[in-house]
Amino acid sequence: MAFGDLGWLHDVDHRAAAVNFAGSLGPRPRNLEVQDLASFDRLVAGGAVNLHGWHAQSLDLRGRAAALKSVNVEGAMFLGCTFDDGMEGNLRSRGALIFPKLEAVPFDPYRAGLYSPAELYSGLATSPYEELPDARIYHWSIQPGQRQRVDATLASALHDHAIGNALDELTRSGPWIRRSIVGVMGGHAAPRGSVEFAEAARLGRLLAREGHAVATGGGPGAMEAANLGAYLSQASDGDVQAALAALAAVPGFRPSVSAWARAAAAVVERHPDGTPSLGIPTWFYGHEPPNYFATHIAKYFANAIREAILLELCHGGIVFLPGAAGTVQEIFQDACENYYGAREKVAPMVLVGRRHWEQEYPAWPMLRSLAEGRAMAGSIHLVDTVEEAVEVLRQR
pLDDT, tens digit, 9 for 90 and up, residues 298-339: 999 999 999 999 999 999 999 999 999 999 999 999 999 999
Alpha-carbon dihedral 276, 282, 287, 290, rounded to 10 degrees: 10
In whole angstroms, give the CA distance from residue 378 to residue 349: 10
Q: How many Cβ atoms are within 10 Å of 101's Cβ, its own excluded?
A: 13
In whole angstroms, give the CA distance from residue 132 to residue 63: 32
The terminus-to-terminus CA distance of the chain in angstroms comes to 35
CB-side exposure of 330: number of CA atoms within 13 Å?
29
What is the rounded average pLDDT of the residues 283-309?
A: 95
In whole angstroms, give the CA distance from residue 269 to residue 266: 5
What is the rounded average pLDDT of the residues 198-220?
A: 98
- pLDDT confidence tier of residue 29, bands split at 50, 70 and 90: low
* Pairing of the two strands 278-279 and 296-297: parallel
pLDDT on residue 50: 96
Q: Say which range, 8-12, 48-52, 63-67, 349-353, has the weakest mean pLDDT.
A: 8-12
Helix H or strand E encompassing 213: strand 213-216
pLDDT on residue 10: 33
Residue pair 110/156 in contact (Cβ under 8 Å)? The answer is no
For residue 25, pLDDT over 60 is answered with: no
**pTM beyond 0.75, yes or no:** yes
Backbone Cα Rg of the chain: 22
pLDDT on residue 3: 30
pLDDT on residue 174: 84
pLDDT on residue 2: 33
For residue 16, pLDDT over 50 is answered with: no
- pLDDT confidence tier of residue 15, bands split at 50, 70 and 90: very low
Q: Which amino acid is at 173?
A: S
For residue 141, pLDDT over 80 is answered with: yes
* Pairing of the two strands 54-57 and 296-297: unpaired
What is the rounded average pLDDT of the residues 212-229?
A: 97
**Environment class of 98 (CB within 10 Å of its CB; exposed 0-12, middle 13-18, buried 19+):** middle
pLDDT on residue 187: 86
